[in-house]
Amino acid sequence: MSTLRLGTRASALATTQSGLVADLVRERLGREVELVEISTEGDRSAAPLAQMGGTGVFVSALRDALLDGRVDFAVHSLKDLPTTPAEGIALAAVPMREDPRDAVVARDGLTLGELPVGSRLGTGSPRRVSQLAALGLGLELHGIRGNVDTRIRKVRNGEVDAVVLARAGLARLGRLDEVTEVLDPLQMLPAPGQGALAIECRSGDTDLVAALARLDDPATRAAVTAERAVLSTLEAGCSAPLGALAEVVEGEDGEELWLRAVALSEDGGLSVRMSTTGPVAEAAQIGTRLAGDMLAEGAADLMEAPPVRNQHA
């Protein structure tokens, strides 16, 4: 059998994630894999993601490489995927998810609540900014971009006092020892799909679609399907101040899906926060229904409203 070409972004985190998937393919499918690095718009630009359009800036180049035959399949951070299907592309598998929570890396081993009023916290995520502001801790929020190493270095050199990152990325890079606090979802709901990986290939490659489907984790697929249904129904991009987290839990009558979501104003002063449960097989409907309830409470207007105070948490 020929070697499969796996398209990946070139960052340390992306190649690590793609390497994990490559190992799964070798172990479970018995196929050899080579990584092919693809440069994306999100990697080339230093502009804030919201200014670049947010959704899809890390994805389009990889999909182009798939469609023109340069690679056979690609791995993305699932939270980067647009919710609208791409013609000719199949989401073949969503492997088991890493812990989806956010994590703090702060100076002197401090937790979020231990940071003094006026401390500088770096994050480039409107979702994190809004939820941090809602906590009312008196922190100064600074927009930053860059890879994991770049962001943590800003703490080490004193440019900021703390940063908030996805715990999953730190786990995959073997850097959990630098985490000073893992944030409870009651404090900060993660981005829809955070901690999960997406494996895509050409929809016409039916044999490969079927083979890669063996890497799918049903519980993870159900959870992210519900979360992304919230995202899609609210018509929010990956840069919107929206958090969502679904989990498959054991209920009285077997497994059920528990979903919670929050939409916030940019300054965190206003929010619509809701939760619901339902059958795992109805993940998409559960997400759509919850988002519909949030829309009825003004969630869309909330996320589009201009800030009404300075950007302090």
- Which one from 80, 102, 161, 267 is the annotated catalytic residue? 80
CA gap 246, 255 in Å, rounded: 13
Give 102's strand partners.
Answer: 166
Q: What is the DSSP letter of 26?
A: I
Tokens of 115: 């940071």
SS (H, E, C) 58-114: CCHHHHHHHHCCCCCEEEEEHHHCCCCCCCCEEEEECCCCCCCCEEEEEHHHCCHHH
CA gap 125, 158 in Å, rounded: 20
Query: 3-state class of 56 per DSSP?
Result: coil
Active site residue 80: yes
Report, as residue numbers or ranges, the catalytic residues.
80
